[in-house]
Homo-oligomer: A and B are copies of this chain.
Amino acid sequence: MIIVQKYGGASVANVDRIKDVARRVVKTAKEGHKVVVVVSAMAGETDKLIDLAYLVTSKPGEREMDLLLSSGERIAIALVALAIKELGQKAIAFTGRQMGIITDGLHMKARIEKIASERAREALEGGHVVVAAGFQGITEKEADVTTLGRGGSDLSAVAIASALKADLCEIYTDVEGIYTADPNIVPEAKKLDKVSYEEMLEMASLGAKVLQTRSVEFAMRYGVPIVVRSSFNDNPGTLVTKEDMEMEKTLVSGITSDTNQAKITVIRVSDSPGIAARLFKAIAEANIIVDMIVQNVSSDGESADISFTVPETESREALRLVEEITEELGATGVAMRDDIAKVSVVGVGMRTHPGVALQMFGTMARHGINILMISTSEIKVSCVIEAKYSELAVRALHEAFGLLVNV
């Protein structure tokens, strides 16, 4: 088999951890597999480099920032390759460039355009473990160094796995896999053996920060099977893969919560065409990502309240933008609250079982939790509630949907 193993910053944080990674890699190679190791910068290194840059300039140019940040992974791949060789296994370190990772020119958030993987393929054929730098690539024309944005090493690993037609992409991290809920909130939460790409996407974007969203999208598009597992032990982890019959039998796979959002309500907007477009154009132009949007026509039938959520960090800016156009929207006012949480129930099974939303609302009601906004997709129901009820809601839903034991 061809196996891609991705190790995050915590897994290569120091010399001892690097030696652990080397041992695991060599063990996999000795089992007869061709192994590509994708490595992040040692934990803390990237932040240290960013700090240095901001000590030198208040507005770092992105091209030079990418050159700077890409150094962290170079150091890590060299050390990991050396540690693997020390164990008597042939290994070769490849930078993003040498790995053939071609991206567009959007520095600090580049997108992978293609992977020219011939050299890696040759190295694997020659019996080498390939140690590839995550997070980085180069542009095709200028051959300038680019980075893929925070969490980009996950994407590197999945894209490399796809290019090499790998049988498996293992993401090693400091958690044991994907859980039915955050174990910090629900100690009885269970590790899932298997979860679908779609569910993983909903969970990732809803705040379960184990896998970078873009990497899951990429894996789904190209059918790359991912295993999320711990680099601290040999437990099997969670397989993220295509939806199958077995998954559909499970109504709900997990409960997630996200308290880093704020809710903005524009009060009594005139109920005429083009108003919502005008509102969200202003927000979009400021590059603020809107998550949920709810509109209710009011009792007089002539105006509506529009509520939407944005990341808490950008809520002040969003509020300012909306206030600027309040009059233009014909609204009577704007309100914001950031003491909210979004709690979601995710599961592919709900496609064929209509009762999930109802059961969710009932559970909230039984616990006296008021629902401020509701949004649904095919495989997810989300409720915005007051933040103080967030942990209670997760625990109650986790129990209500029977996630404490196998269903």
Q: Does A74 contact B (CB under 8 A)?
A: yes
> CA–CA, A86 to B156, complex, Å?
32
Contacting pair A52 B67 (CB below 8 A): no
* One of A24-32, A92-100, A274-282 at the interface: A92-100
Contact B68 A74 (CB under 8 A): yes
Residues of B within 8 A of A64 (CB): 78, 81-82, 85, 92-93
Is A55 a contact of B15 with CB atoms below 8 Å?
A: yes
Given contacts A65-B78, A77-B67, contact A56 B86 (CB under 8 A): yes
Chain A, 72-117, CB within 8 A of any chain B CB: 74-75, 77-79, 81-83, 85-86, 92-93, 95, 97-98
Number of copies of chain A assembled together:
2
Interface string of A1-31 (1 = CB under 8 A from B): 0000000000000010011000000000000
Contact A15 B52 (CB under 8 A): yes
When distances are taken between beta carbons in the complex, the residues of chain B under 8 Å from A74 are 67-68, 70-71, 74
A57 at the interface (CB under 8 A from B): yes
Contact in complex: B85, A57 (CB < 8 Å): yes
In Å, the complex CA distance between A45 and B97 comes to: 24
Among B15, B57, B63, B97, which residue has its beta carbon within 8 angstroms of that of A92?
B63
* Structural contact, B75 and A61, CB atoms closer than 8 A: no
| A185 interfacial by beta-carbon distance below 8 Å | no
Encoded as 1 (CB less than 8 Å from any B CB) or 0, chain A from 36 to 71 comes to 000000000000010011011111110111011011
Specify which of B57, B58, B75, B97 is in contact with A71 (CB 8 Å cutoff). Answer: B75
**B18, B56, B78, B81: the one within 8 Å of A82 (CB):** B56
| 22 A-B contacts (beta carbon < 8 Å) | A18-B56, A19-B56, A49-B75, A52-B75, A53-B79, A56-B86, A57-B83, A57-B86, A58-B86, A59-B86, A61-B82, A61-B85, A63-B93, A64-B78, A64-B81, A64-B82, A64-B92, A67-B74, A67-B93, A70-B74, A71-B75, A97-B97
Q: Tell me the smallest distance from the CB of A276 to a CB of chain B, in Å.
A: 41
